[in-house]
Amino acid sequence: MVATSDIVIEVRDLDFYYGDIKALRGVSLDIKINQVTALIGPSGCGKSTFLRLLNRMNDLIPGTRVEGRVMFEGKNLYDEDVNPVDIRRRIGMVFQKPNPFPKSIFNNVAYGPRLNGIKDKKKLDELVFQSLKQAAIWEEVKNSLDKSALSLSGGQQQRLCIARALAMAPEVLLMDEPTSALDPIATSRIEELVEVLKKDYTVVIVTHNMQQAARVSDDTAFFYMGEMVEMGNTERIFTKPEKQQTEHYITGRFG
Amino acid sequence: MIAATSKRYRLITELVAFWIIRLSAGLVVLTLGGIVLFLLYRGAGAVNWAFLTESPTDAMTRGGIFPAIIGTLYLTIGSSLIALPLGVASAIYLSEYAGDGWTLRLIRLGIQNLAGVPSVVFGLYGLALFVVFFGFGVSILAGSLTLGFLVLPTIIGASEEAIRQVPATFREASLALGATKFQTICRVVLPSATPGVITGSILGVGRAAGETAPIMFTAATFYTRHMPSSPFDQVMALPYHIYVLATSGTHIDQTRPLQYGTVLVLISLVLGINIFAIIIRTRMRRKKTW
């Protein structure tokens, strides 16, 4: 039994529509603080859609509709008086494909703080340093902060994107299949990083890769056909799943 | 046997088609080359340092075309200053804000039609609106406004295209960091689109530099020795000067070399502007890696 205060995001009866298509049906789950929560399931099951609902990124897609509640620190993110811009500053996101800006490494990381109006060079230097350090990429780029971010390798770019998100000091970090475009070595570096990040952040990670979910997460939620089938402690989900669908998926019978 | 014949037939068709296409492309280059060579032949003799730096003298039968060069330069710069901000702003609105609906379609239709309006109509419109109604008189300002509107569709088109080519992932990354739409446009979209916007605009402005009809009633004067001192002054301009030399001279024999010389200067200017745009584009493309 977890105390309520350990829960950062509480999702209740969430439905989501792309036009007339119902992509999520009645999803309810809790995201716990300083833990890594993995969302797994076959392609098209709604896990990425769900993730993007947690920082209102789906607002950007025309013709979509949300029903239900996403409670973040006692406030429903979909209340009318909530500004999605504020939410995205507090709940950061890392995407499937590394997407650094065509700017220097420094300016990529400083992008967020500058949005917050920070102009002081010393402060920016410090924030960039801290963020790159936290994202475990400082040593590799410390001598080339002025170089274009696009000159980095894919794995480095993804860690830079993580640093960029961390520079906003978000409370929650959403990761949408962050390693699917990376080679195994770059992948393992990101996974190690996730492990470390949960000390300071709450991480929600969508992954296609069940081994990855098993390796990095504390809790796992299994999505299938727009529904959240089962959620629980990762070890339990992978050893003693309660639902047959979950078992079929993790044993590789489909997906 | 039949197979062999049809194969042979296919080969010949292929060859003929290929050569027709190739010749068509060659013809375009040949035309441009022909024009330039002809102008060099007829006009090069007239162009020298004095021709470029002095005013016309003796009822324009001698002397240079300096005031016309300066006038065209002012008009070109003036029309860019007007059309660039307006065009880029419209392009941002169309590609980022307008969504999809009948207003957007109406605006697009308007822009497309604006591009099809003959330049002499722009000239008359400029005369009625800027020269007379706003009381700017025949002036650099009125001419720049008229030319600015003439190139507006080109600039909007080029800018919109450049903005659309900015990958959606850049926008997404910026928005996910909590940037507003406007911040995203200013800090990510526009900087990435700049090379395309600049190149397209320069090409549009290059065309405006050579236009006669729009400035005829709005900015250009037959002859002046004075350099313009304010936007409300009228100026000589290269295209209009050519028109004047070709139609109003009384000493055709004496003015003809000057006329070809002026044409040569004008076409060098326009080609120069275009080449400049192409160089910028190539350099920026090389830097772009997404």
Query: Chain B partners of A181 at a C-beta cutoff of 8 Å?
Result: none
In a domain, B117, yes or no: yes
In a domain, B16, yes or no: no
User: Which of B170, B183, B290 is closest, CB to CB, to A115?
Assistant: B183
| pLDDT, one tens digit for every residue, chain B (290 residues) | 566 778 888 889 999 999 999 999 999 999 989 999 999 998 888 888 888 888 777 666 677 788 889 889 999 999 999 999 999 999 999 988 887 788 888 888 999 898 889 999 999 999 999 999 998 988 999 999 999 999 999 999 999 999 999 999 999 999 999 999 999 999 999 999 988 898 888 888 888 888 888 988 888 887 777 778 888 888 888 888 888 888 876 777 778 888 899 999 999 999 998 898 888 888 877 766 55
Tokens of A213: 């979910």
- Contact yes or no for B257/B63 (Cβ under 8 A): no
Distance in angstroms (rounded) separating the CA atoms of residues A208 and A188: 15
Query: Chain A partners of B288 at a C-beta cutoff of 8 Å?
Result: 102
Residues written for chain B: 290
In a domain, B40, yes or no: no
CA-wise closest residue to B155 among B106, B75, B85, B105: B85
3-class state of residue A104 by DSSP: strand
Q: How many domains does chain B have?
A: 1
Query: Chain B partners of A148 at a C-beta cutoff of 8 Å?
Result: 289
Query: Chain B partners of A62 at a C-beta cutoff of 8 Å?
Result: 99
**Chain B residue whose CA is closest to A52:** B176
- Contact yes or no for A205/A175 (Cβ under 8 A): yes
Tokens of B290: 């997404």
Distance in angstroms (rounded) separating the CA atoms of residues A255 and A219: 20
Distance from CA of B178 to the nearest CA of A (A): 5
In a domain, B92, yes or no: yes
| pLDDT, one tens digit for every residue, chain A (255 residues) | 445 568 999 999 999 999 999 999 999 999 999 999 999 999 889 999 999 999 999 988 888 999 999 999 889 999 999 999 999 999 999 999 999 999 999 999 999 999 999 999 999 999 999 999 999 999 999 999 999 999 999 999 999 999 999 999 999 999 999 999 889 999 999 999 999 999 999 999 999 888 999 999 999 999 999 999 999 999 999 999 999 999 999 888 765
- Contact yes or no for A205/A178 (Cβ under 8 A): yes
- For each of the domains in chain A, give its residue range(s) and CATH number, in order of start: 4-250 (3.40.50.300)
CA-wise closest residue to A234 among A251, A247, A216: A216
In a domain, B6, yes or no: no
Burial of A133 (0-12, 13-18, 19+ CB in 10 A): middle
Distance in angstroms (rounded) separating the CA atoms of residues A228 and A57: 20
Q: Give the helix ranges, DSSP H, for chain A.
A: 47-53, 84-90, 105-115, 121-134, 138-141, 154-166, 184-197, 210-216, 234-239, 244-250
Q: Identify residue A179 by its one-letter amino acid code.
A: T
Q: Does B174 touch chain A (CB under 8 A)?
A: yes
Q: Does A77 touch chain B (CB under 8 A)?
A: no
In a domain, B201, yes or no: yes
- Say whether B173 and A112 touch across the interface (CB within 8 A): no
Distance in angstroms (rounded) separating the CA atoms of residues B9 and B148: 54
- Say whether B176 and A55 touch across the interface (CB within 8 A): yes
Q: Does B14 touch chain A (CB under 8 A)?
A: no
CA-wise closest residue to B245 among B228, B229, B265, B273: B265
Distance (Å) of CA B182 to CA A168, A201, A248, B100, B146 = 19, 29, 47, 19, 30
- Contact yes or no for B163/B189 (Cβ under 8 A): yes
- Say whether A93 and B178 touch across the interface (CB within 8 A): no
Buried b / exposed e over A185-205, threshold 16 CB at 10 Å, is: ebbebbbebbeebbeebbbbb
- Say whether B178 and A89 touch across the interface (CB within 8 A): yes
Q: Does A153 touch chain B (CB under 8 A)?
A: no
- Contact yes or no for B227/B57 (Cβ under 8 A): no
Q: Does A178 touch chain B (CB under 8 A)?
A: no
Contacts with A1 (C-beta within 8 Å, 6 or more apart), sequence order: none
Q: Does B179 touch chain A (CB under 8 A)?
A: yes
In a domain, B230, yes or no: yes
Q: Identify residue A43 by its one-letter amino acid code.
A: S
Task: Label residue A226 left, alpha or beta by phi (over 0 means left) and psi (-120 to 50 means alpha).
Answer: left
Distance from CA of A86 to the nearest CA of B (A): 6
Interface test with A, best of B97, B166, B170, B177 (most A CBs within 10 A): B177
In a domain, B41, yes or no: no
The H-or-E segment that residue B256 falls in is helix B252-287
- Say whether A86 and B178 touch across the interface (CB within 8 A): yes
Task: Label residue B137 left, alpha or beta by phi (over 0 means left) and psi (-120 to 50 means alpha).
Answer: left
The whole domain housing B254 covers: 64-282
User: Which of B175, B191, B288 is closest, CB to CB, to A88?
Assistant: B175
DSSP class of A9: E
CATH number where B142 lies: 1.10.3720.10
